[in-house]
Chain A
Amino acid sequence: MTKVKSFADLRMMKEGLENKLNLREKSNHPESLVQIRVAMATCGIASGAKTIMEYFIDELEKRNIEAIVTQTGCMGYCYAEPTIEVTLPNQDAVVFGFVTEKKANEIIEKYIKNNELVDGIIPVNYQSIEN
């Protein structure tokens, strides 16, 4: 692997990336991309949310899926961490619990690519009990 260290390299990489990005930005709005939010609170981090976030960033790129992967706070499903929220273009967000790398792979292959539901969805109407 080539040594990368300076901002000069970063600027060079930027030029290469720009063409690709312009295409994306002109043809799309953020809503038309797959959006994934990984719950990154104490409970999530302790159960490996960071690894899952990195998995999604790397795998979606490898599989050529345009997506935005970002972080969110605790969604209240601490028992089911790591949890992620996936929003496909023009669809309601779906929350998945107990996301291991194996599960993440299944979510990408079945839900994100083919819009097939997979096990592990936490119903949105689930409400935590108020005091």
Chain B
Amino acid sequence: MKELSLHILDILQNSITAQANLIEIEVFENKMKNVYSIGIKDNGKGMSEEILSHVTDPYCTSRTTRKVGLGIPLFKQNAERSEGSFTINSVLGKGTVLKAIFQHNNIDRPMLGDIAGVIVLTAAANENIRFIFTHTTETGEYIFDTDEIKEALGGMSINQPQVIRYLKEMIRENLTEINYSK
């Protein structure tokens, strides 16, 4: 993956497959502490300890259409390559929490990329799931909650080109306001 947001997009699909109805995405960056971290937490069906112990193995997947599962291993590889770390915890029936930490100034840390697009496209394609996206920088914090969007739209679908475009712009502007690192 060329961008961190694409990793997020990938991991979100795991949460969706795990039948989560609440997914929280947290991006935290701090140049002073030299940290760029991404946390994803869902309330899906979780994993047993046995599966969890194999989940970073590229030859482990829940899919039946193919034999490799590269999403998590690739994310982990990128984190470790940037002198960071990668942890994943899960409780069967409760959900899964994943955290990837990168060095902020590391040359191997991928760019964040189009995070607004990732969040909005995924939220629009999965309207029954509540997404809470938080981005924290030294300047401030921005929270995007699909429940607020749904309330503002009053029952109208998010999955419409105009709404998608608007929400993407809204997120981008708010992120620019808190001086996020692309």
> B-side binding surface: helix, strand, loop or mixed?
helix
B6 interface hit (Cβ, 8 Å): yes
CA distance A128 to B61 in the complex (A): 16
Query: Is A46 a contact partner of B121 (Cβ separation < 8 A)?
Result: no
A101 interface hit (Cβ, 8 Å): no
Least CB separation from B1: chain A residue: A46
Query: Is A50 a contact partner of B9 (Cβ separation < 8 A)?
Result: yes
Known: A5-B173, A70-B125, A78-B66. A42 touches B149 (CB 8 A): no
> A-side binding surface: helix, strand, loop or mixed?
helix
Query: Is A3 a contact partner of B173 (Cβ separation < 8 A)?
Result: yes
Q: In the complex, which residues of chain B have a beta carbon less than 8 angstroms from the beta carbon of A14?
A: 152-154, 156
Q: In the complex, which residues of chain B have a beta carbon less than 8 angstroms from the beta carbon of A58?
A: 161
| The one of B13, B63, B157, B162 that contacts A71, using a Cβ cutoff of 8 Å | B13
Interface residues of B in 1-27 (CB under 8 A from A): 1, 6, 9-10, 13, 17
- Quick one: which of B17, B122, B160 has the most chain A CB within 10 A? B160
Query: Is B156 a contact partner of A71 (Cβ separation < 8 A)?
Result: no
A45 interface hit (Cβ, 8 Å): yes
Q: Which 9 A-B pairs have the closest CB atoms?
A: A76-B65, A61-B161, A42-B71, A71-B125, A7-B152, A70-B125, A10-B152, A42-B70, A45-B6
B residues bordering A, Cβ < 8 Å? 1, 6, 9-10, 13, 17, 63, 65-67, 69-71, 74, 114, 117-118, 121-122, 124-126, 148-149, 152-154, 156-157, 159-164, 166-167, 169-170, 173-174
